[in-house]
Amino acid sequence: MSAEQQPQVSEAQIAVHWREEQYYQPPASFIAQANAADPAILERFGEEHFPECFTEYANLLDWDAGWHTTLDTSNPPFWKWFVGGRLNACYNCVDRHLATSSNKAALIWVPEPETEDTKAVTYQELYRRVNEFAALLRDFAGLRTGDRVTFHLPMVPELPVAMLACARLGVIHSEVFGGFSGAACGDRIADSGSRILVTMDGYYRNGDLVDHKTKADEAVERAAALGQQVDKVLVWRRHPDRYASASQMVEGRDFFVDELLANYRGAVVEPVSMPAEAPLFLMYTSGTTGRPKGCQHSTGGYLSYVAGTSKYYQDIHPEDTYWCAADIGWITGHSYIVYGPLALGTTSVMYEGVPTYPDPGRPWRIAERLGVNIFHTAPTTIRMLRKLGPDEPGKYYHRFKHMTTVGEPIEPEVWRWYHDTVGKGEAVIVDTWWQTENGGFLGATLPALQPMKPGSCGLGVYPVIYDENGDEVPAGSGKAGNICIRNPWPGIFQTVWGQPDRFVQIYYEKYCRDKDSSDWRDWPYFAGDGAVQAADGYFRILGRVDDVINVAGHRLGTKELESASLTVDEIAEAAAVPVIDELRGRAVEMYVALKPGLAPSDDIARKVTAAIEHEIGKIARPANVWIVPDMPKTRSGKIMRRVIAGISNFTDVGDVSTLANPEIVDDIRHHIQAAKLARGQVPRELSPEEAEEIKAFGHAE
Ligand code: WTA
């Protein structure tokens, strides 16, 4: 391997990465059974066959009517796929498997308490439950094709049942991650215009039965304050014989789903034949401004894309037992727990709780007992399992043929533990880079055809790196740039719900060559991640280039964190920055300045943490809240996040001479670094990429 393949920022960096980048070849046993083992597939999906090559994905589905146009670019960059085609996503994930697989498990659900039985939901039972719930949504909740409905559901089979019931009716679902707060859920209800909220009374997490219904009350209140009335709250019960929440059921608004379902026993709802371009669901994500973005995904393009990538990149065969340990509340769960695997008629495992509960052997016990052969998780989970139970995988007889990693860059050292210890050296690893907006994998290797390289997401679907001027950064140049996607692909989101201008502005404006052009070549997709490409073509993702903090694989917008802090009366100004965190990749650190005349106190810092937990959820809980006398600011009054990010990470804060108040920098640096050392938060040396990321933080401002 030549030095050109390394991201050439400094000598030290080359030294650090030299050893890390050796190839790992897939085992012969994997190649022998792989769905994509014939190199002809690389040729079939070559750019000269674009866009028709993607009909291969669409042909994995059953269509009610064929499409007349594979890719319609007439209204750029609102691409339309498989135009003229009609299909139903629920039919494709459920009904069509009944003839051959009615008695096969579609879902295997593992409750968190080990004393509770694992439940298999066969395709027949899924069909039954989806039909009954669809009848309830239509007849009791009054939902019609095109309406939106918000779910705030944990990892229970009722969530895929509810998603598929919506898909059956052509109702657009919007699942909000169960760990998000009631307020965050309320914001998303209002943004999507949902009149119906589907929730659950409680669920198990880390050994506790968490009260979840209380969040629904807050969500409804928040939505009302934003002008959106919620008519009905449909409440599933975790244990149908007892209500797990302290919150009162509101007469005429709140209903127990298990009670209502008695009226729909045996109901059959015909799947509604939907245009390929009809929206299937919304998935909210964070961006550079406070308002969350409802990424709108299509029915035909999306389902084709997740079916195709599940088959070829995940190597899912109908007879596999596949476990994606993500939460369905994120895009990974939508695409690779529910829609992709079920479209292929496989068995998808769902786990309710925390992977390390009650001990870090839990995932391997589940895998051993259920015979899981494809395992899919995020670096943050891998790091945690490695830290808490480095030898645990060796104690179990699980055997994986394939393992996936998603959500953040994985350190080569962690990758090797995943490969050697979790996979016992027998499994291929596919590092999949993509985003909520993308529907499915963009950067990944085809595991039987392309060797693995720790820390690199490999090749993928038409990626390219551009510099700030829009010039292509060639492979092997050692220079980092912005990773973009040249060609549209069927899984791309259709728009930001209710904010089409933001859709264009955030993802396409930066590199658009001609706004009047309807040639997709003039509209590269800007992903907002930095990357370098080695001479062999492999991409290495360096992280976000905007003000989004990736905590444990989840994107948190700095603006959301800051506006949550500003809900505390005493706070005048707030800034969120990332700190490098061994387990979670990045953690959030908040800097706040108080209104005049107020004295700093631990109590105020605690209020800020509580406000963030209330507005967003525990996942966003800051590692530290620092009360500072003033923020470093530009002369135009903008907070310089890169400067405070440098302080928090003990790195160089860069040039501060242009600040309006340069003297404040040394003052806060001294105070905060001393406090961090006193708290035992001793920094480790950052890798050159990490240091670069911190230095670039806030660059978008
Ligand atoms: C990051 C999750 C490196 C990236 C599917 C992206 C990754 C953001 C990887 C999207 C990976 C995701 N390697 N970085 N394999 N996968 N990312 O929307 O910064 O929750 O932009 O989608 O996560 O996060 P999102």
Nearest CA among 519, 517, 434 for reference residue 483: 434
pLDDT band at 82 (very low <50, low <70, confident <90, very high): very high
Closest CA to 153 of 189, 203, 190: 203
Q: What is the per-residue pLDDT for 289?
A: 67
CB 395 within 8 A of CB 364: yes
* Cα distance between residue 432 and residue 231, in whole Å: 40
Compute CA 283 distance to the chain's CA centroid, rounded to the nearest angstrom.
Answer: 9
- The Cα 618–Cα 272 span in angstroms is 38
pLDDT at 682: 82
Cα radius of gyration rounded to whole Å, the chain: 25
Could you tell which of 441, 541, 546, 690 is best to mutate to test the pocket of ligand 1, judged by most ligand atoms within 8 Å of the CB?
541
**Percent of the chain's residues with pLDDT above 70:** 96
C-alpha dist (Å) from residue 457 to 326, 375, 663: 18, 17, 43
**Residue owning the nearest CA to atom 14 of ligand 1:** 408
Confidence of residue 7 (pLDDT cuts 50, 70, 90): very low
- pLDDT confidence of residue 594: 94
- With 0-12 / 13-18 / 19 or more C-beta atoms within 10 angstroms meaning exposed / middle / buried, residue 679 is exposed
Residues 355/386, Cβ–Cβ less than 8 Å: no
Kindly report the protein residue whose alpha carbon is nearest to atom 12 of ligand 1: 407
Measure the CA dihedral 267/107/432/53, to 10°: -50
More confident site: 16 or 354:
354
| Beta carbons of 193 and 148 less than 8 angstroms apart | yes
Give the tokens for residue 7.
Answer: 């991201």
Segment 46-71 shows an average pLDDT of 97
User: Are 498 and 558 a contacting pair, CB within 8 Å?
Assistant: no
| The pLDDT of residue 288 | 64
332 lines ligand 1 (CB under 6 A): yes
pLDDT band at 657; cut points 50, 70, 90: confident
Please, are residues 341 and 371 in contact by the beta-carbon 8 Å criterion?
A: no
Burial of 78 per CB tally in 10 Å (0-12, 13-18, 19+) = middle
Distance, CA of 129 to CA of 322 (rounded, Å): 22
Q: At what angle do helices 602-615 and 182-192 cross, to 10 degrees?
A: 40
Instruction: Report residue 320 as tokens.
Output: 């596999």
Average pLDDT of span 488-514: 97
- Going by DSSP bridges, is the β-strand pair 571-581/274-275 parallel, antiparallel, or unpaired? unpaired
Estimate to the nearest angstrom the gap between the alpha carbon of 194 and the chain centroid: 22
As a three-state string, the secondary structure of 104-160 is CEEEEEECCCCCCCCEEEEHHHHHHHHHHHHHHHHHCCCCCCCCEEEEECCCCCHHH
3-state secondary structure at position 633: strand
Q: Find, among 635, 346, 301, the residue nearest to 490 by Cα.
A: 301
Compute φ and ψ for 240, nearest 5 degrees: -55, -20
CB of 407 closer than 6 angstroms to any ligand 1 atom:
yes
**Residue 112: partners with Cβ closer than 8 Å, 6 or more residues away:** 203, 204, 205, 206, 207, 351, 352, 353, 354, 357
Residue 215 pLDDT more than 60? yes
pLDDT for residue 14? 37
Q: What is the pLDDT of residues 102-134, one digit of tens each?
A: 999 999 999 999 999 999 999 999 999 999 999
Q: In this structure, which residue's CA is closest to atom 13 in ligand 1?
A: 409
Name which of 509, 467, 511 is nearest 486 in CA terms.
511
**Chain CA centroid to CA 52, Å:** 28
Amino acid at 285: T
What is the number of other CB atoms lying within 10 angstroms of the CB of residue 611? Answer: 23
Per residue in 241-296, pLDDT tens?
A: 899 999 999 999 999 999 999 999 999 999 999 999 999 999 999 766 668 899 99
CB 346 within 8 A of CB 320: yes
Per-residue pLDDT at 563 exceeds 90: no
Confidence of residue 683 (pLDDT cuts 50, 70, 90): confident
**CA 240 centroid distance within chain:** 30
Whether ligand 1 lies within 6 angstroms of the CB of 457 is answered as yes
Indicate if the pLDDT at residue 573 is higher than 80.
yes
Beta carbons within 8 Å of 241's beta carbon, 6+ residues apart: none
Nearest to 328 by CA among 319, 316, 338, 318: 338
How far is ligand 1, taken at its centre, from the CA of residue 265, in Å? 42
What pLDDT band is residue 6 in, cutting at 50, 70 and 90? very low
C-alpha closest to that of 441 among 316, 345, 349, 533: 316
Phi, psi of 314 (to 5 degrees): -85, -15
User: What is the whole-number distance in angstroms between the Cα of residue 152 and the centre of ligand 1?
Assistant: 23
Contact status, residue 268 vs residue 139, Cβ threshold 8 Å: no
What is the H or E stretch that residue 561 is in?
A: helix 558-565
Reduced to 3 states (helix: H, G, I; strand: E, B; else coil), residue 589 is strand
Give pLDDT, residue 417.
97
Q: Is the CB of 409 under 6 A from ligand 1?
A: yes
At residue 99, the pLDDT reads: 98
Ligand 1 atom 23: the closest Cα is on which residue? 407
Count CB neighbours of 335 within 10 A. 30
pLDDT of residue 659: 87
The widest CA-to-CA distance across the chain, in whole angstroms, is 74
pTM exceeds cut of 0.95: no
**Cα–Cα distance measured from residue 538 to residue 79, given in angstroms and rounded to the nearest whole number:** 27
Q: What is the pLDDT of residues 303-344, one digit of tens each?
A: 999 999 999 999 999 999 999 999 999 999 999 999 999 999
Structure tokens belonging to residue 85:
């085609």
**Would you place residue 413 in the very low, low, confident or very high pLDDT band (cuts 50, 70, 90)?**
confident
pLDDT of 699 > 90? The answer is: no
As a residue count, the chain comes to: 701
pLDDT of residue 689: 80
Nearest CA among 129, 131, 179, 130 for reference residue 152:
179
Ligand 1 centroid to residue 411 C-alpha, Å: 14
Ligand 1: atom nearest CA of 330 is 20
Ligand 1 site-directed mutation target among 555, 556, 586, 690, most atoms within 8 Å of CB = 555
pLDDT band at 629 (very low <50, low <70, confident <90, very high): very high
pLDDT of residue 16: 37
Task: Over range 61-66, report the average pLDDT.
Answer: 98
Residues 6+ apart with CB under 8 A from 636: none
Q: What span, in angstroms and rounded, lies between the C-alpha atoms of 33 and 566?
A: 56
Q: What is the tens place of the pLDDT at every residue in 379-391?
A: 999 999 999 999 9
* Mean of pLDDT values over 399-403: 98
Mean pLDDT of the chain: 93
**DSSP letters for 230-272:** --EEEEE-SBTTB---SSPPPTTTEEEHHHHHGGGTT---PPP
pLDDT at 4: 38
* Per-residue confidence (pLDDT) for residue 693, from 0 to 100: 84
For the segment 154-211, what is each residue's pLDDT rounded down to a tens digit? Answer: 999 999 999 999 999 999 999 999 999 999 999 999 999 999 999 999 999 999 999 9
